[in-house]
Amino acid sequence: MKRISYRLLAFVAVSGILISCGVREDRELCPCWLDFLLHECVGMADSLHVCGVRSTTLFSDHVDMQEYPAVYEKEVDRGLVRTCVYTGLDRSVCNGYDVTIPLGEQADRLFVHRNTVDCSGEAASDLVVLRKEWTTVNVRLEVNGEMSGNYFRSFRVVVHSSVNGTNMLDCSPTEGEFRYEPTVSSVGAFSFRLPRHEGAAETLFMDVYREGEKVDEMNLGKTFSQNGFSWNTSDLSDIDMKVDLLVGEVFITVRPWENLGHDHIVFQ
């Protein structure tokens, strides 16, 4: 008799919950179904990390785009939910929502979507649009307008700043030492990726060495801003530079990013 009573009580309790979500005056007790609309992400990634946040993380799911090419659905308690969807982490370290670039590495090709969604009703949706969180800088060194393969074999370039990552919830830079030494080709060309430097661009420098001696130091943050580059665009642009070491001239082209599936590479 006791076993039957327990089963009856469990059935009544579950039935009560189901009935409460069907009664008009009790609808606010039901959860909200949050749909992540993923069709804008097709072709950009094989998988995504989909997160929901209030004061703490509500969920953090790895989503296979082949399994969910259009919609990924989550059940959440009603109220405002901060959403974060990202892809592209490779060598960087993710601690919570702070992405840190290890010393000696360049920025990952990180795409992030962030939003605040009103989930106070029975259903809500979030259109996921991934935004580019890195800038590719392509540089070519020259000497009086000429480029000599043998001449540039003795050069080293070091890029450094006080920003070594980003917070994915508000796209703010994270403070820390960034230092990366790209390989200079035989024609004086090299490329590197930078994280978002909004509000901290004055700390971004590039040092040029020849045979161990520093021959030039450039304030890249200042140079970029003077030539129309902005760190607060949704999708960070890429930059092409020509630097004449003899006459001290710098020529910059800012290239708005296009989703071509690869970095824009020049001078190769």
Q: Whole-number mean pLDDT of the chain? A: 86
What is the structure's pLDDT at 93? 96
Q: Is the dihedral of CA 248, 253, 257, 261 positive or negative?
A: negative
**pLDDT tens string 105-164:** 999 999 999 999 999 999 999 999 999 999 999 999 888 766 655 677 788 999 999 999
| Euclidean distance between CA atoms 63 and 70, whole angstroms | 11
- Fold matches, 30-89+110-131 and 133-255: yes
d(CA 82, CA 79) in angstroms, rounded, equals 10
Assess whether pLDDT exceeds 70 at residue 249: yes
Q: What is the pLDDT of residues 63-83, one digit of tens each?
A: 999 999 999 999 999 999 999
Helices (H) then strands (E): counts for the chain: 3, 18
- 113: three-class secondary structure by DSSP: strand
For 15-27, the pLDDT digits (tens) are 444 445 655 555 6
Contacts of 231-234 with C-beta under 8 Å, sequence gap 24+, read 231/196, 231/197, 231/198, 231/199, 231/201, 232/198, 234/131
Domain 133-255 in CATH 2.60.40.2630? The answer is yes
- Sorting pLDDT into bands at 50, 70 and 90, what band is 265? very low
In this prediction, residues 39-59 reach a mean pLDDT of 95
Q: Is the pLDDT of residue 43 over 60?
A: yes
Query: What does the alpha-carbon distance between residue 102 and residue 180 come to, in Å, rounded to a whole number?
Result: 10
Other beta carbons within 10 angstroms of residue 55's beta carbon come to 6
Q: Is the pLDDT of residue 194 over 50?
A: yes
pLDDT in tens, 212-222: 899 999 999 99
Residue pLDDT, tens place only, 231-241:
999 999 999 99
Residue 178's pLDDT is 98
Sorted by where each begins, the domain ranges of the chain are: 30-89+110-131, 133-255
- Reported as a pLDDT band with limits 50, 70 and 90, residue 2 is very low
Per CATH, the number for 30-89+110-131 is 2.60.40.3700
